[in-house]
C-alpha cells in the first residue's frame, strides 16, 4: 500500500515538474545586477508604451515610436526610421515606419538581428503583450548586454518593425528594400499571441534545422520550451510572424519566441500592462540573454544546414536533439523488441492471449469513447452557452477550467472501462494494446509528421516496463513509476498545449492524449485494485469542475463580453444601417439593432481572420458624413488598353479603406500608392484570385490619400466599390453612442466602433 502511494506521488510530482520546468517562478527585480536582465526594469518601459492603442496611423503610434527611439539613444545607439509603402501577400497596403539601430562587432561576418514589432492591432488592443513585451525584452536585453562591456564578433542589428499586425508590412519593407537585409545571418524574434504562459521556441528555416538546434542547445537557455512537433503544426497553420518574411523573401533563418496562453486577451483591450504575466516576461528574458551572448560570438555564415533534427525539452535535461535519420531505425528496433517480448511472454505464460484481446478492446474503447464524448460535449456546451461564440479566439475566459473538466471526464472513462477487465495478474497483457497503438502512431508520424517522432522515447520506456512485467510477477511498483516519468514529461504538457494553442474545439485531441498516456501508465495504474472507486472520484471532480466552469461563464468586468457596432452609410443609395458581427445581441447592441434585427449577409465585406462577417443589421438614420473626394485623371487609350488614375481623398479622419470589384472587371495592371499589385506568374492580369471580390485594403498613414494607377481592357465599363472606415463612432458629434457596460469590450479582429461609407466609382 505504501509503495503504491509512493508510486502515485512520483507520477503526480513528475506531472507537476513537467509544467514547473516550463516557466521561471520568480522575476528579477530592480536590484538585479546591471549586466543581467531585470523583468522589473523592463516593466518600467512597458508601462510607457502600453498606455493606449497604438496602431498604424493614430497619434499614440507616433508617441510609442518616439519613446522607443529615445530609449535606444540612451543606450548610445544611432537610430534610423525606414518608411515606405508595401503590399502584403494578403493585399494589405500601408506605409510602415521601422525603427532600426546597429551595434558594430569586431568581425565582418553575418549579423545577428533582434526583431519584434511596436504597432498594436487596430483598433482597441493596448498591445502590452503583442508585442510591447517583445520591445522591452529587446531594450532590457540590450542594456544588460552592453553593461557587460564584452566585445562581440558579430554586428547586432535591431529592428523594431511596424505594421506587423496589418500584414507583416514592416518586415517586408526591410527584407526587400533595406541595404542591411543582405547582412543578416540569424534573427531572434520575440512575439506573443496571448498574455501569459511559457514562450515556445519555433524555428523558421527553408532548409534543415540541425545547425540551429546545435547552437540553441549550446547557448543553453535556462527554461527551453521547444519541440519539433509544435513547429510542424505551426508550419501547417495560417499564422505568420515577421520572421516568416525573412525566411520566405530573404532565405534568412531565425528563432521565434512566442507565448500563447491566456489567448482570450489576444488583440483585445485586455492586452494591458496589468494582465501580462510577469513570469512570462521573465521567460523571454531568460531566452534573450544567453542567445544574445552566444550568437553575437558565433560564426553565422555557416548556420544553414540540409539536415533536420528531432528536438524536445524535458525537465532537468533541457533540450534533447537527434537526427531525423534515426527515426526509422528507432522505430524498427522498437517493433523488433515489442514482438520479441510478446513471443517470450506467451511462451512464459506471463502474457495471456485472452487478456491481450481484452486489453485492445478496453484501450480502443477508451480512446474512441473519450474522444467522441469530449467532441460532442464541447458542441453541447457551445449550444448551452452561445455567448462563447463571441470570443473569436476560440478560448473562453474559463477555458482552463474546461481543460480540467475534460481531464477528469477522460480519466473517469478510462478507470471505469479498465475496472471491468482488471485482474491481479493481467497488467502485462493489458499493456500490449497501448504499446501497439503507440507504435502504429509512431509509424504514421515517421511517414507523415517526422517532427513528432520523439513520441518513440516513452514507448522505449514502456517496453522496458513490459520486459520487467513479463519476468516478474510482482515488480517493484516504484520502479514502474520511475519508468513512466519520460512519458509524463513529454506528453502531459501537450494535454494543455493543444487547446491553448488551437482553441477549445480541439479538446478531443487532449482527451486522446490523456488516454494514450493512461495506457503508458498501466505499469502503475494497472496494479490499483479499486479502479471503480477512482472512477467515482473523477466523476465527483468532473462534476465540481463543471459547476465551477458554469459559475465562471458569466461576463464580468475582468472577463468582459466582446461586442461590436458599425454605422454603415451607402452614399450611392442614400441609405444607412446599424450592423454588428455579434451572434448574440446584448443591451448595448440592442439599443441600435432592437430585438428583431435583419440578417446582414448582404453586408459581408469586412470579414475577420476567422472568416466572420456582419450578422445582423437594422435601418439607421442617414447622417451627413463627409464623403471622400474622388478625382479621375490621365484617362487615356493606347491600343486595346485604357489607363486612368483614381485619387481618393478622405474629407475626414479615416483609418482604413477597402476596395472591391466583381469578376466582370479585368485589370491589366494596378498600382496602389506606387506599389504594383501582385500578379500570378505568366498571368497577363492582376487580382485574378480575389476573395469575395476584394482587391486590397489600404491602412491610412499620415493622412495620405489613396492613389490608384489602373489599366483595363479598352471597352470595359469599370466599377469599383470603395469602403472608407473611421474608428470614431463613439466620439463623433453626429451620434450619441452610450459607453459600453463595464462587463463589455470592443470585439477584436473585425471592423468595430466604426463609421463606414460605401461609394461606387464607375469608369464608363
Percentages helix, strand, coil for the chain (3-state, rounded to 5) are 45, 20, 35
Q: Quick one: cell of 199?
A: 514562450
Predicted pLDDT at 712: 95
Which residues in the chain come in under a pLDDT of 70? Answer: 237-239, 601-605
Cα 410 to Cα 138, 325, 515, 540, distances in angstroms? 42, 36, 7, 13
pLDDT, residue 679, reads: 79
State the Rg of the chain over Cα: 29
Nearest Cα neighbor of 90 from 594, 568, 677 is: 677
Alpha helix positions (H), 237-352: 242-250, 278-295, 327-348
Q: Helix count (H) and strand count (E) of the chain?
A: 20, 26
Per-residue confidence (pLDDT) for residue 537, from 0 to 100: 96
Q: How far lies 715's CA from each of 517, 639, 666, 711, 763, in Å?
A: 67, 11, 11, 11, 10
Each residue's pLDDT tens digit, 58-93: 999 999 999 999 999 999 999 999 999 999 988 999
Number of Cβ within 10 Å of residue 316's Cβ equals: 7
Could you report the per-residue pLDDT of 198-221, keeping only the tens digit for each? 999 999 888 889 999 999 999 999
pLDDT of residue 602: 63
Q: What percent of the chain has pLDDT over 90?
A: 88
Long-range contacts of 377-380 (CB under 8 A, 24+ apart): 377/406, 377/409, 378/402, 378/406, 378/504, 378/505, 378/507, 378/508
Task: Quote the pLDDT of residue 603.
Answer: 64
The pLDDT tens digits for 566-604 are: 999 999 999 999 999 999 999 999 999 998 898 886 665
Say what the pLDDT of residue 605 is.
65
User: Can you name the residues that pair with 94 across neighbouring β-strands?
Assistant: 86
Q: How far is CA 585 from CA 445, 617, 729, 742, in A?
A: 45, 11, 19, 16
Looking at residue 556, its pLDDT comes to: 96
DSSP 8-state class, residue 600: -
Query: Which domains are assigned to the chain?
Result: 2-16+325-551 (no CATH), 25-314 (3.40.630.10), 558-764 (no CATH)
Sequence-distant (≥ 6) Cβ neighbours of residue 696 within 8 angstroms = 87, 91, 92, 93, 658, 659, 672, 677
CB-based contact 190:257 (threshold 8 Å): yes
Q: C-alpha grid cell for residue 88? A: 502584403
pTM, two decimals, is 0.94
Instruction: Please return the burial class of 239, using the count of CB atoms within 10 Å of its CB with bins 0-12, 13-18 and 19+.
Output: middle
Give the per-residue pLDDT at 606. 72
Question: Given this model, what pLDDT does residue 320 score?
Answer: 95
Grid cell 494589405 is found at 92
Look at the chain and count its residues: 764
Short-list 331, 535, 346, CA closest to 435? 331
User: What grid cell was written down for 273?
Assistant: 500592462
Amino acid at each position: 500500500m505504501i509503495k503504491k502511494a509512493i508510486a502515485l506521488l512520483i507520477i503526480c510530482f513528475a506531472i507537476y515538474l513537467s509544467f514547473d520546468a516550463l516557466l521561471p517562478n520568480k522575476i528579477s527585480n530592480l536590484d538585479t545586477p546591471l549586466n543581467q536582465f531585470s523583468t522589473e526594469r523592463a516593466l518600467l518601459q512597458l508601462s510607457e508604451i502600453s498606455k493606449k492603442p497604438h496602431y498604424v496611423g493614430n497619434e499614440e503610434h507616433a508617441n510609442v515610436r518616439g519613446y522607443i527611439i529615445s530609449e535606444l539613444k540612451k543606450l548610445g545607439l544611432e537610430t534610423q526610421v525606414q518608411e515606405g509603402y508595401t503590399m502584403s501577400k494578403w493585399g494589405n497596403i500601408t506605409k510602415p515606419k521601422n525603427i532600426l539601430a546597429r551595434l558594430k562587432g569586431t568581425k565582418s561576418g553575418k549579423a545577428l538581428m533582434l526583431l519584434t514589432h511596436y504597432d498594436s492591432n487596430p483598433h482597441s488592443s493596448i498591445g502590452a503583450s503583442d508585442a510591447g513585451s517583445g520591445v522591452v525584452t529587446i531594450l532590457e536585453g540590450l542594456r544588460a548586454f552592453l553593461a557587460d562591456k564584452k566585445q562581440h564578433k558579430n554586428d547586432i542589428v535591431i529592428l523594431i518593425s511596424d505594421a506587423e499586425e496589418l500584414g507583416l508590412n514592416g518586415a517586408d519593407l526591410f527584407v526587400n528594400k533595406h541595404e542591411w537585409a543582405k547582412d543578416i545571418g540569424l534573427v531572434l524574434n520575440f512575439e506573443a499571441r496571448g498574455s501569459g504562459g511559457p514562450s515556445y521556441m519555433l524555428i523558421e528555416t527553408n532548409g534543415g534545422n540541425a545547425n540551429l538546434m546545435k547552437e540553441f542547445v549550446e547557448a543553453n537557455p535556462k527554461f527551453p520550451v521547444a519541440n519539433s512537433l509544435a513547429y510542424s503544426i505551426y508550419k501547417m497553420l495560417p499564422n505568420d510572424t515577421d520572421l516568416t518574411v525573412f525566411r520566405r523573401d530573404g532565405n534568412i533563418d531565425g528563432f521565434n519566441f512566442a507565448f500563447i496562453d491566456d489567448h482570450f486577451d489576444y488583440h483585445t483591450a485586455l492586452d494591458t500592462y496589468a494582465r501580462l504575466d510577469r513570469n512570462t516576461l521573465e521567460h523571454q528574458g531568460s531566452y534573450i540573454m544567453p542567445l544574445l551572448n552566444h550568437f553575437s560570438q558565433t560564426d553565422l555564415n555557416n548556420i544553414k544546414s540540409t539536415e533536420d533534427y528531432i528536438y524536445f525539452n524535458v525537465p532537468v535535461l533541457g533540450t534533447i536533439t537527434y537526427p531525423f535519420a534515426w527515426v526509422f531505425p528507432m522505430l524498427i528496433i522498437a517493433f523488433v523488441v515489442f514482438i520479441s517480448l510478446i513471443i517470450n511472454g506467451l511462451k512464459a505464460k506471463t502474457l495471456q492471449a485472452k487478456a491481450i484481446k481484452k486489453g485492445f478492446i478496453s484501450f480502443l474503447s477508451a480512446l474512441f469513447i473519450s474522444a467522441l464524448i469530449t467532441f460532442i460535449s464541447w458542441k453541447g456546451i457551445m449550444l448551452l452557452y452561445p455567448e462563447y461564440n463571441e470570443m473569436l479566439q476560440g478560448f473562453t475566459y474559463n477555458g482552463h477550467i474546461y481543460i480540467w473538466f475534460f481531464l477528469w471526464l477522460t480519466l473517469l472513462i478510462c478507470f471505469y472501462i479498465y475496472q471491468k477487465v482488471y485482474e491481479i495478474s493481467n497488467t502485462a497483457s493489458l499493456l500490449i494494446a497501448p504499446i501497439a497503438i503507440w507504435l502504429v502512431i509512431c509509424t504514421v508520424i515517421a511517414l507523415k509528421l517526422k517532427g513528432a517522432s520523439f513520441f518513440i522515447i516513452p514507448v522505449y520506456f514502456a517496453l522496458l516496463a513490459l520486459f520487467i512485467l513479463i519476468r516478474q510477477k510482482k515488480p517493484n511498483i516504484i520502479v514502474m513509476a520511475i519508468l513512466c516519468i519520460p512519458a509524463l514529461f513529454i506528453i502531459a504538457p501537450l494535454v494543455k498545449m493543444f487547446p491553448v494553442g488551437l482553441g477549445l474545439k480541439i479538446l478531443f485531441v487532449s482527451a486522446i492524449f490523456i488516454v494514450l498516456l493512461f495506457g503508458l501508465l498501466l505499469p502503475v495504474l494497472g496494479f490499483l485494485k479499486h479502479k471503480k472507486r477512482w472512477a467515482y472520484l473523477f466523476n465527483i471532480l468532473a462534476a465540481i469542475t463543471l459547476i465551477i466552469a458554469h459559475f465562471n461563464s458569466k461576463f464580468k468586468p475582468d472577463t468582459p463580453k466582446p461586442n461590436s457596432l458599425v454605422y454603415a452609410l451607402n452614399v450611392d443609395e442614400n441609405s444607412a444601417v446599424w450592423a454588428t458581427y455579434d451572434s448574440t445581441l446584448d443591451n448595448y447592441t440592442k439599443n441600435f439593432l432592437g430585438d428583431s434585427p435583419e440578417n446582414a449577409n448582404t453586408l459581408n465585406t469586412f470579414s475577420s481572420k476567422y472568416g466572420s462577417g456582419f450578422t445582423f443589421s437594422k435601418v439607421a438614420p442617414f447622417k451627413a458624413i463627409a464623403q471622400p473626394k474622388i478625382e479621375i485623371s490621365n484617362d487615356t487609350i493606347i491600343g486595346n488598353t485604357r489607363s486612368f488614375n483614381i485619387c481618393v481623398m478622405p474629407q475626414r479622419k479615416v483609418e482604413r479603406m477597402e476596395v472591391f470589384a466583381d469578376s466582370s472587371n479585368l485589370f491589366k495592371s494596378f498600382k496602389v500608392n506606387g506599389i504594383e499589385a501582385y500578379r500570378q506568374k505568366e498571368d497577363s492580369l492582376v487580382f485574378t484570385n480575389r476573395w469575395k471580390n476584394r482587391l486590397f485594403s489600404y491602412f491610412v498613414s499620415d493622412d495620405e490619400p489613396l492613389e490608384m494607377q489602373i489599366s483595363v481592357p479598352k471597352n470595359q465599363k469599370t466599377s469599383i466599390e470603395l469602403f472608407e472606415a473611421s474608428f470614431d463612432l463613439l466620439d463623433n458629434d453626429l451620434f450619441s453612442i452610450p459607453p459600453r457596460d463595464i462587463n463589455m469590450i470592443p470585439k477584436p479582429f473585425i471592423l468595430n466602433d466604426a463609421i463606414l461609407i460605401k461609394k461606387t466609382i464607375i469608369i464608363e
